[in-house]
């Protein structure tokens, strides 16, 4: 295959993986809110599914802080436990407590 064809195929695969952002109803927003507060209060780990650049990503960690001004949740976790992610609250699609 020509390099141009390979490039076009790779771009096509990236576009194919993209999803539209799902709407979340208010009842489930309350459930997620309760899970976030429980994790923050008791120092539990959570897995957050959030929408970023056309795809849904997961991140597991503990809540470090909450930036109320910028409306972002700061999580520390990852493979080595030292990675910090700042996730916008509006991008969060799901929150699960880890056991």
**CATH numbers and ranges of domains, the chain:** 23-97 (2.30.30.100)
**pTM score:** 0.73
Q: What is the pLDDT of residues 35-87, one digit of tens each?
A: 999 999 998 999 999 988 888 889 999 999 888 899 999 999 877 767 889 99
Residue 72's pLDDT is 93
HEC string of the chain? CCHHHHHHHHHHHHHHHCCCCCCCCHHHHHHHHHHHHHHHHHCCEEEEEEEECCEEEEEEEEEEEEECCCCEEEEEECCCCCEEEEEEHHHEEEEEECC
């Amino acid at each position: 295959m020509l390099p141009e064809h390979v490039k076009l195929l790779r771009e096509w695969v990236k576009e194919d993986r993209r999803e539209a952002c799902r709407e979340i109803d208010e009842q489930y927003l309350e459930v997620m809110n309760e899970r976030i507060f429980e994790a923050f209060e008791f120092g539990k780990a959570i897995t957050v599914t959030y929408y970023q650049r056309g795809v849904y990503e997961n991140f597991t960690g503990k809540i470090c802080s909450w930036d109320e001004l910028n409306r972002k949740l700061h999580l520390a976790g990852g493979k080595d436990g030292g990675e910090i992610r700042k996730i916008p609250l509006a991008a969060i699609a799901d929150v699960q407590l880890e056991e």
